[in-house]
Structure 1
Amino acid sequence: MAEEKKKKEEQRSIFLQCLLILLLLLLHCSHSNGAPSLSSDLAALLTFKSLSDSSNHLLTWNSSSPFPCSSWLGVSCSQSRITGLVLESLSLSGASIAPLSNLTELRILNLKSNHLTGPIPDLSSLAALKLLFLSNNSLSGPIPSSLSSLSRLYRLDLSFNLLSGPIPLSLNHLPHLLTLRLNSNNLSGPIPVLSLPNLQDLNLSSNSLTGPIPPSLSSFPPASFAGNPTGFPTTTTVSSSPGSKPDQGIHHSGMSHAALIAIIAGDLAALLIAFTILFLYFWRKIGSKPPSHHLHEGEKIVFSSSPYAGFERGRMVFFDETPARFELEDLLRASAEMLGKGGYGTAYKAVIQDKNIVAVKRLRETGSGLGKREFEQRMQILGRIQHPNLVSLKAYYYAPDEKLLVYEFMPGGSVYALLHGNRGPGRTPVWWEVRLRVALAAARALAHIHTASRSLRLAHGNVKTTNILLDKAGTARLSDFGLSMLGPSSTARDCGYRAPEAPSAERPWASQRADVYAFGVVLLELLTGRAASEMVDLPRWVQSVVREEWTAEVFDLELLRCKGIEEQMVTMLQLALGCTATVPDQRPKIRHVVRMIEDISSGGIGDASVSPSLDSFDSVSDSPSLSEESGQAHDVTLSSCR
């Protein structure tokens, strides 16, 4: 009896909702003679609510509300029409998107992270739509060709669904598209030749796409296509006829499987014998060397496996009188752990006598053209530069065939790992206050480098998030400064941070203006949560968002959970874009950048004059507020974001 009563109540509720919708439609027809209006938009939303909101998250959607544009959750209006709908992570379910096609003035549709099912309906009536986010649902079926009618679309995100079939070539009819995310679906067939001149963000990974990557998309990183049976064009393989067996090529050559196995086994046996002979030979050679050569081999084991041309002893030179001293032999006996390889050498963590931990950078090739006197003069310059936000150079070792730099060890890792590591479930968010502290610390360190010498115009030369490290207290410290003085990097300078005026040929080069550009890219990483090394051009991508449609899409979703910081983030974004100006003379000096960040950190709004290109930044009328577009619960407080 109770179940029958509950079922009747549900049927009655649905009947009343349908009756309400019908009344609204009748009112709309009688007052506007069929022309779309706010009342017709509201009727479409109520239909959508009745079909999808089984969890009752849209309780504010009440037909009796006098101001639906300000009181209905996720709804924003312009000129008496609904233009924004942001309903992210609200457990909406069912195949219920179709009623939203009646919102003909809609510019932003965000239904991310719900439980919506069924095919994507015909949305061609949404001619004004600019942002379409349907990711993290259970939508199925093909990508409808009707999406090509949305000619004003800038961002299309259909990732993490169950979509199948080919990627339609009709997407080429979206000339303004900046973002295309179709990853983590069941899409199949070849990757079409997409000709989208403004496309900056592409992700087709984790599908069943086959064949080569078209030249028009070859500029995007391999991660954009990972998880597919596809890739950049490789050497052509010989194909067999449909009726042939997989091992046809082996049988055709007259070679049996047994013969092939015997040949491989013979080769392995020969290699094993040769390796054993070489091992015994070099083991005897090592045992017969004098003590200095023992030191040579020990160093080889600790720091590298490459052979030396010769060995000449040098000495450790310290810059600070207070720390415990050690010699090269202590380094060789220390337990060593490789931290990473870079263009200027390999870095190791070394534990000396079980208590003194240092970071050692081995400069095997860098500076090879410098004589001892010139090398030591440059080391003296770097050793004198001390600041609380710089990783101090403690000592160096020079020999003709070996150069070592000894730094303080930073146990907190890099800001790159902090921002981009473990982006999956269980990640601890990096809140705005932490990012502000990192930005200010790095700016102060860079300003100190630029003003450390009156006679020399010093520059860092390699500013990036992997070179901003955290000490045991969590304080950001800028590392690897001044290595460009020693010679060219063995690898190309990281293009994500490279200033437009930097020479294309790798040679010793650095400038203070280029440092400011690279620091601006670091600020963009802190704001967007996107890795500069994985983007085609992070400043250009952000500029395109600002120029075409300022929305919360540019900011890291972790930051959008915080209230009361929108103005600070916007000001910081203006500063970052000013730092990454194409013309070097238009970039602010780093001391001005420090003052700006200090002002932002203290609660001020800063001086936006550093970025004159953003005059129209606040003039976009159809952009929802950050809290609306984030789709997060509105009861999040600022204290939860510290």
Structure 2
Amino acid sequence: MPLPLPSARSLSHRTMAAPRPSHLHCLLSILLLHLTLLHAIPPPSIHPDLAPLLSFKSSADFSNKLSSWKNSSDPCHKSSAFYGVSCLHNRVTGLVLEDLNLHGRFDSLTSLVKLRVLSLKRNLLVGPIPDLSNLTSLKLVFLSDNQISGEFPPSLPSLFRLDLSHNKLSGSIPATLNRLTHLLTLRLEENQFSGSIKFLNISSLQDFNISMNNVSGEIPASLSGFSESVFSNNPILCGFPLLECREPEIPPPVVSSSPTSLPWTAAVPTNKKTGNGSRSKISTLAIVALIIGDVLVLTLVSLLLYCYFGKKSAEETTNEKKNIQQGEKTAYSTPTANSFEKGRMVFFDGTKRFELEDLLRASAEMLGKGGLGTAYKAVLDDGYVVAVKRLKEVVTGGKREFEQQMEVLGSLRHPNVVSLKAYYFAKDEKLLVHDYMTNGNLFSLLHGNRGPGRTPLDWSTRLKIAAGAATGLAFIHTSSTTVKLIHGNIKSTNILLDKSGNACVSDCGLSSFAPPTAALRSAGYRAPELSSANNRKCTQKSDVYSFGVLLMELLTGKCPSMVDNSGVQDLPRWIQSVAREEWTAEVFDLELMSYKDIEEEMVQLMHIALSCTSGAVDQRPTMDHVVKMIHDIDGAEMSPRNDDFELVSNSPSVIET
């Protein structure tokens, strides 16, 4: 018989019944397995910089100003938003905590091993400065306006800026400070430092102050270029620019008050009416008479000499003034009298504000000498100012070739190109007249007066100059549809700045007239394919190479041809040797280390420079592409300027590297 099928009711009853023990065992096994898998997953890793930050907060933040610092797993994550914390490559590199009423010590911050900027200004921090020597990446330290005590740190990393002013530090300044060979700022004013500073010799210093301390001795020659105010209120300090140091006075020997101890008492008679007294009186009258006679004789001789030489001196002075005036008028004139009679002044754009005679009458000031001649600033009688270049040792195929080249150059009109206003051609004299650029050239701005009192070239200005010069050179390369125009001599002395600070390219096309020896003076900018061995002519690609070197000069603050321990080394090769694997602070100009969030922009501009200086000519970009790449740099238009550079230690909140 077939087995009876269970009814629906019995099935429903079985379904509602409790599970058997074997089923419970299976469920427990599954639960245990799930818990085991959960424990096998490692917990999220704790950021290595979190503990030092939280430790500092717990000991110093009594006012809870750092409420955004929470037990987050990653202070560098964008969602964490730790106040005053900046990161690079997921490590804390900047800590700017100012005016936050922070108390206590800050030793725990020394565990932030990748820290580059530390600014704790205007707080209530106490205790000695902890050992910072292990923070090898640290470059900027600002601890001013606290209550920090103790002595000067015995050892420090290779800093660029150090501000310990307005604290309670004491003791002497260690000689190890001279090891900071890249130090730009050293602010120690209003502390209690003592001892000598004569040993200080840090050639890179640009911002220094040790006023209101107790240092003594002589100011070293390396610091004598700073103003008197940075040494004031140090009572025992001397030397230029303060009062001259004097040798200590030796007190006179102590003698007995007894008359018998005086060495001259035995020689002087006690009777004042003796003959000796009479002779002494006569002798005095004779001496007075001799002095009066000598004065009269000297006066008479002086009058005779004045009458004889005075007239002659006046004539010489008159002649000298005439020679100076004539020299100013003919500073860029030919030595021969008839040279100008054979030439003519040619103007462009139909503007003829002056004649050749006006140039000859104008006062001239030499601006500089180059491989092609000498440039002058000429002020005409009506106040109009122009720049005149007197070409010298130029090689031309004749008057017609020269005039054709001038016609091409005179037609170039662009805001970033120095306009050729007129020219003069004669057999023995060639003059070019340009617009006068009031702000000088890039070379002077970058390399001039690298010492105390210098006004550095800020980052946004450098970026603006790079963009302007690139635009001007790109216009030169593309202005003609019939021929390929070439500049041929791109260098920092040929990048001029107008009254608005716009970069303008000058001396365009003049390299075609230069003798072979003149080109060697710009060897640091010359493309490798233009070596003297192959005698190849300049091309637009060689212009691009020279512009790449110019960008490196802007970024590093170094001249194209450098002299180091290994001899003369060109700038592109030096950059490649310093930064083969990653960008380091040693590549960029120390004066750029005071600007916030520009490292990425500098690296982008350096990549453009490296592509321009490629050894393979075909791999170099065109100038149009270079202009686009520069304008594509993040913040090229918005990068903040720091017009108060010399007061940078008073504004560390805007400082980052």
Alignment of 1:450-465 (within 5 A): 450=477, 452=480, 458-464=486-492
Equivalent residues, number: 487
* Residues 300, 306 of structure 1: 8 Å contact kept: no
Letter in 1 for 2:315: L
Contact 1:319-1:394 within 8 A present in 2 as well: yes
Q: In 2 relative to 1, CA 298–62 (structure 1 residues): closer, same or farther, beyond 3 Å? A: closer
**CA-CA distance at 1:348 after TM superposition:** 3.5
| Aligned counterparts of 2:311 and 2:394: Cα–Cα separation in 1 | 35
Alignment of structure 1 residues 22-171 onto 2, 5 Å: 40-46=51-57, 49-50=60-61, 59-60=66-67, 62-63=69-70, 68-69=75-76, 70-75=80-85, 83-87=92-96, 96-101=105-110, 103=111, 106-112=113-119, 114=121, 120-126=129-135, 129-134=136-141, 137=144, 144=153, 146-147=155-156, 156-159=159-162, 165=173, 167-168=175-176
- The one-letter code sitting in structure 2 at the alignment partner of 1:45 is F
Instruction: Report the counterpart of residue 214 of structure 2 in structure 1.
Output: none
| Aligned counterpart in structure 2 of residue 404 of structure 1, from 431, 452, 463 | 431
Change (3 A) 1:349 1:90: farther
- Give runs of aligned pairs for residues 211-230 of structure 1, distance below 5 A: none
Residue in 2 that maps onto 1:470: 498
- 1:572 corresponds to: 605
Larger radius of gyration: 2
Q: Which letter maps to 2:352?
A: A
Is the 1:88–1:113 Cα contact (8 Å) retained in structure 2?
yes
Note closer, same or farther for the CA distance 1:272–1:466 as it changes in structure 2 (3 Å cut): farther
Q: Distance in 1 between matches of 2:108 and 2:580?
A: 31
Structure 1 counterpart of 2:160, one-letter code: D
Residue 376, structure 1, aligned to residue 402, structure 2: yes
SS across alignment from 1:189: coil
Indicate how the Cα distance of structure 1 residues 454 and 348 shifts in structure 2: closer, same or farther if over 3 A, else same: same
Is contact 1:191–1:209 with CA below 8 Å preserved after alignment?
no
**SS of equivalent residue, structure 1 residue 445:** helix
Question: CA 1:90–1:109 in 2, change beyond 3 Å: closer, same or farther?
Answer: farther
Matches of 2:309 and 2:614 in 1, distance apart? 59
TM-score (norm 1): 0.55
In structure 1, distance between residues paired with 2:307 and 2:73: 85
Cα separation, partners in 2 of 1:278 and 1:538, compared to 1, 3 Å:
farther
The separation in 2 between residues aligned to 1:549 and 1:224, in whole angstroms, is 32
Alpha-carbon distance between aligned partners in 2 of 1:466 and 1:117, rounded to the nearest angstrom: 54
Q: Distance in 2 between matches of 1:550 and 1:464?
A: 24
User: C-alpha deviations, 1:467-514, integer Å up to 9, x for none?
Assistant: 233266x65421122333333688984677566677699x99855444
Change (3 A) 1:160 1:375: farther
Aligned mates of 1:271, 1:184 — CA distance in 2: 56
Q: Secondary structure at the match of 2:66?
A: coil
- Partners of 1:99 and 1:445 in 2: how far apart? 53
SS at match of 1:123: coil
| Residue identity in the other structure for 1:463 | K
Q: Would the aligned equivalents of 2:344 and 2:426 in 1 still touch at CA under 8 Å?
A: no
The alpha-carbon distance between structure 1 residues 285 and 444, as it changes in their structure 2 partners (threshold 3 A), is closer
Tell me, in whole angstroms, the C-alpha distance in 2 between the residues paired with 1:271 and 1:376: 57
- CA 1:508–1:59 in 2, change beyond 3 Å: closer, same or farther? same
Report the counterpart of residue 280 of structure 1 in structure 2: 315
Name the SS of the counterpart of 2:132 in structure 1.
coil
Pick closer, same or farther for the CA change 1:633–1:512 going to 2, 3 Å.
Answer: closer
Partner of 1:446: 473
Q: Say if 1:442 and 1:478, in contact at 8 Å, map to a contact too.
A: yes
Cα distance change on mapping 1:110 and 1:501 into 2, 3 Å: farther
Question: Following TM superposition, by how much is the alpha carbon of 1:41 offset from its aligned partner in structure 2, in angstroms?
Answer: 1.4
Structure-2 change in CA distance of 1:143 and 1:273 (3 Å): farther
Q: 1:395/1:497 Cα in 2 relative to 1: closer, same or farther (>3 Å)?
A: same
In structure 2, distance between residues paired with 1:270 and 1:183: 57
Per-residue deviation, 1:382 = 5.6
Please say if 1:390 is aligned against 2:423. Answer: no
Q: Deviations over 1:44-76 (max 9, x none)?
A: 4226744xx9xx795345456676443222335
Amino acid at match of 1:397: Y
TM alignment of 1:515-554, pairs within 5 A: 515-524=543-552, 530=557, 540=574, 544=578, 547-549=581-583, 554=588
Counterpart of 1:237 in structure 2 is: none
The secondary structure found in structure 2 opposite 1:468 is strand
Give the Cα–Cα distance (whole angstroms) in 2 for the partners of residues 348 and 550 of structure 1: 42
* 2: CA distance, partners of 1:559 / 1:209: 28
Specify the SS of the correspondent of 1:350.
Answer: strand
AA partner of residue 109 (structure 1): R
> What are the residue-to-residue correspondences of 1:310-459 with 2, within 5 Å?
312-314=339-341, 315-324=343-352, 326-336=354-364, 339=367, 342=370, 344-352=372-380, 354=382, 356-363=384-391, 366-367=392-393, 373=399, 376=402, 379-380=405-406, 383-384=409-410, 386-388=412-414, 389-399=416-426, 402-411=429-438, 414=441, 432=460, 438-450=465-477, 452=480, 458-459=486-487
Cα contact 1:156–1:179 (8 A) shared by 2 = yes
- How far apart are the structure 1 equivalents of 2:70 and 2:525? 52
One-letter amino acid of the counterpart of residue 53, structure 2: L
What is the percentage of aligned positions where both structures have the same residue?
Answer: 33
Residues 549 and 333 of structure 1: CA distance in aligned 2, closer, same or farther (over 3 Å): closer
Question: Partner of 1:362: helix, strand, or coil?
Answer: strand
Q: CA deviation at 1:322?
A: 0.9
- Structure 2: which amino acid aligns with 1:632? V
Aligned partners of 1:394 and 1:407 also within 8 Å: yes
Distance 1:117 1:512, change over 3 A: farther
Alignment partner of 1:481 out of 503, 508, 515: 508
Q: Aligned partners of 1:486 and 1:496: how far apart in 2? A: 20
1:227-264 CA deviation, whole Å, 9 max, x = no partner? 69xxxxxxxxxxxxx9999xxxxxxxxxxxxxxxxxxx
Q: CA deviation at 1:330?
A: 1.1
Amino acid at match of 1:329: E
Change (3 A) 1:318 1:67: same
User: What are the residue-to-residue correspondences of 1:579-618 with 2, within 5 Å?
Assistant: 579-581=612-614, 586-597=619-630
Q: What does the per-residue CA deviation read over 1:70-98, in whole Å, with 9 as the maximum and x for residues that have no partner?
A: 32223356999x64233276688899453
CA shift digits 1:311-334 (9 cap, x unpaired): 632433325251025322111233
TM-score by length of 2: 0.54
Q: C-alpha distance in 2, partners of 1:518/1:225?
A: 39
Whichever residue aligns with residue 547 of structure 2, its letter is: F
